[in-house]
Amino acid sequence: MTSPDEHGTFRSGFVTIVGRPNVGKSTLVNRLVGDKVTIVSSKPNTTRFQIRGIVSRPEAQVILVDTPGLHKPKTTLGGRLNDSALAALADVDVVVAIIEAGSAIGPGDTVVIERALDAVAGRTRSTLMVVVNKIDKSGPDHVAQQLLAASNKVDELLRSSGRTARVDYFPLSARTGKGAEELLRHIIKALPEGPAYYPTDVTTDSPEAIQLAELVREQLLGKTHDELPHSIACRVTEWEWPRVKVEILVERDSQKGIVIGKGGAVLHDVGVAVREAFAAEMYLELFVKVEKHWQRRDDALDRLGY
């Protein structure tokens, strides 16, 4: 436990995490919350909507908002993912913009930093924290260079737009946890005085049906390759606890067989892993349906809640 604020102040607020796909936003949220509230995979565009992770401490409550990775959209879904991430930047206390230690700051990262600065610049109560993640994969010299490159980029963007902002920089490994506690301490310090918005034992406000559908998708992301991960969507269609039915959408007939697996092997393994993670007593029925081009159809995306 951390000690209470020296002024006895309880702080709370919203912290939006943004970054390109795959930089480790969801891993960081889970790390800071200390619980798995959002799914993670090695495939880009894993997160498809805002997900709140709640950190309760004796002196503060931090509401972390995980967002889809900002990218150049190729589908209607992709456009919605970006919109969802950008919408999460409105009216926040802290923005955490993540870049990776191991790759040079490119145009995608620049857009992320620009949007993050838009959200905090000129707002005296808002802070931007630029996190250089995955430091476990890079040497200390390289990490130091990347921190410097990030601050140069921020300075350049602020100078060219004639704006000012409060910006801090943190090296971190969301995977190992190195630097995470320090980041959290700084986040708490930057939050305004305020009440706890959620009960202290709650770690997310995602409905259980969403959490379950996401766990199914996470398992499938780990077992599929190339274009297929993008073509998969999951949703609960029946919830008569402990009997639950989850529909898995794919876009083509050929993808259906891959998701089912030889003799149903893939679906079987997914079911075992999801029951283990969610509730052993659950009777989970998974079925696969082809829904042509759902990523490009507004009606399908509305139905899926994307």
Positions in the binding site for ligand GTP (CB under 6 A): 19, 21-27, 40-42, 44-47, 68-69, 133-134, 136-137, 173-175
Q: How far is the CB of 28 from ligand GTP (least distance, A)?
A: 7
CA distances from 235 to 216, 265, 289, 303 (A): 9, 20, 11, 9
Instruction: Give the three-state DSSP class for 153.
Output: helix
Residue 133 binding: pick among Mg ion, ligand GTP, none (C-beta 5-8 Å cut-off by kind): ligand GTP
Burial group, residue 128, by CB count within 10 angstroms (0-12, 13-18, 19+): buried
From the CB of 155, what's the least distance to ligand GTP, in Å? 25
Minimum CB distance to ligand GTP, residue 33 (Å): 13
Residue facing ligand GTP at closest CB distance:
69
**CB closer to ligand GTP, 11 vs 230:** 230
Q: Residue 64 is inside which H or E element, if any?
A: strand 60-66
Q: Report the interface residues with Mg ion, using CB under 5 A.
A: 25-26, 46-47
Nearest distance in Å: CB 103, Mg ion: 17
Nearest-CA neighbor of 32 among 56, 11, 51, 13?
56
Report the run of H or E that residue 166 belongs to, with start and end.
strand 166-171
State the binding partner of 36 from Mg ion, ligand GTP, none, CB within 5 to 8 A by kind.
none
Q: In sequence order, what E strands does the chain have?
A: 11-19, 51-57, 60-66, 94-100, 127-133, 166-171, 233-240, 243-250, 283-290
Cβ proximity to ligand GTP: between 4 and 34 the closer is: 34
Taking the C-alpha atoms of residue 187 and residue 171, their distance in angstroms, rounded to an integer, is 14
Task: Classify residue 97 by its DSSP letter.
Answer: E
Is 273 or 279 the residue whose CB approaches ligand GTP more closely? 273
Nearer to ligand GTP, 126 or 133 (CB): 133
Q: Least separation, in Å, of the C-beta of 104 and ligand GTP? A: 17
